[in-house]
Structure 1
Amino acid sequence: MASLAAATFTGQSGEAYEFLAYDRDTEFKSAGAVYVVAIRYPVQDGYTYRNVYVGETRDLADSPLTHCRTACFERIGANSLFVRLEGNPARRQAIAQDLLGRYDPPCNSDQDGICEYPSTDCPLVWPLGL
């Protein structure tokens, strides 16, 4: 499984985290990870990404591909997944919270369940609008 790109995301704390991007339909082996679901789209010099969700999982083989936010991901055209392997559960949670403190991904905005999309809890984002 070849990655599409590498990226560095900086958390609210100022700490930088390295991630690798994959197609969202990539099948992964079982491993703990922090992940960012994104929309990958072409620009003049190649591709860029719009992050739509930050999460963490103890089993990348199962989640986020069967995620409770899949409806939000599908409706906004999320097609990529940034992955940072991390086996320590406390560290995964800390990284995800640090990233959430800096970014405001639209599919994270409703912490109680699946986004009813579009709504004020899960706002419309590119490519359907800003």
Structure 2
Amino acid sequence: MSFAEVTILKGKSGAEYTFMVVSRRTTFKPKPGVFVIGKSLEPQRFSFCYVGQSPDLSVRPLAPAKTECFNRFGADLIFVLEELDAAKRAQMVTDIVQAYAPSCNTP
């Protein structure tokens, strides 16, 4: 997979979100955004296990509390969309979680 590949995820609302797709081992600059943890099934076909948001993506989105779930899932990718507005980030997370029901988002 090439660096900075992009894909579009569609929320339950029908809204489309363009995410940059990178390796799970990628480090990020201190910018706010929405992230999705997943894996590649085949070219441009993915499966997702977690959707979250952060005011600072440089603080690894792979939270220690979720790492075991990500590993069981076989997550190898992070999908990232920069978004400055905290309310918009929260809305996007809700919309995407409702569309994909990622397993690691459940308590």
TM-score by length of 2: 0.89
**Quick check: 1:98 aligned with 2:91?**
no
Counterpart CA distance in 2 for 1:47 and 1:16 is: 15
> What secondary structure does 1:39 align onto?
strand
> What secondary structure does 1:69 align onto?
helix
User: 1:1-130 to 2 correspondence within 5 Å?
Assistant: 2-3=3-4, 5-41=5-41, 43=42, 46=43, 48-110=45-107
Deviation by residue 1:18-65 (Cα, 9 ceiling, x = unmatched): 101000000110010101100124x4xx46321111111111001313
Identify unmatched segments of 5+ residues in structure 2. Answer: none
Bigger radius of gyration: 1
Match for residue 114 of structure 1?
none
Tell me which protein shows more helix as a share of its residues.
2
Tell me which protein shows more strand as a share of its residues.
2
- C-alpha contact 1:72 1:107 (8 A) present in aligned 2: yes
Counterpart CA distance in 2 for 1:32 and 1:12 is: 23
Question: How big is the alpha-carbon RMSD for the aligned residues of Structure 1 and Structure 2?
Answer: 1.7
Of all paired residues, the percent bearing the same amino acid is: 32
- C-alpha contact 1:57 1:63 (8 A) present in aligned 2: no
TM-score by length of 1: 0.75
Counterpart CA distance in 2 for 1:67 and 1:40 is: 22
- Greater length-normalized contact order (CA 8 Å, ≥ 6 residues apart): 2
Deviation by residue 1:79-120 (Cα, 9 ceiling, x = unmatched): 00000000111110011011111111111122xxxxxxxxxx
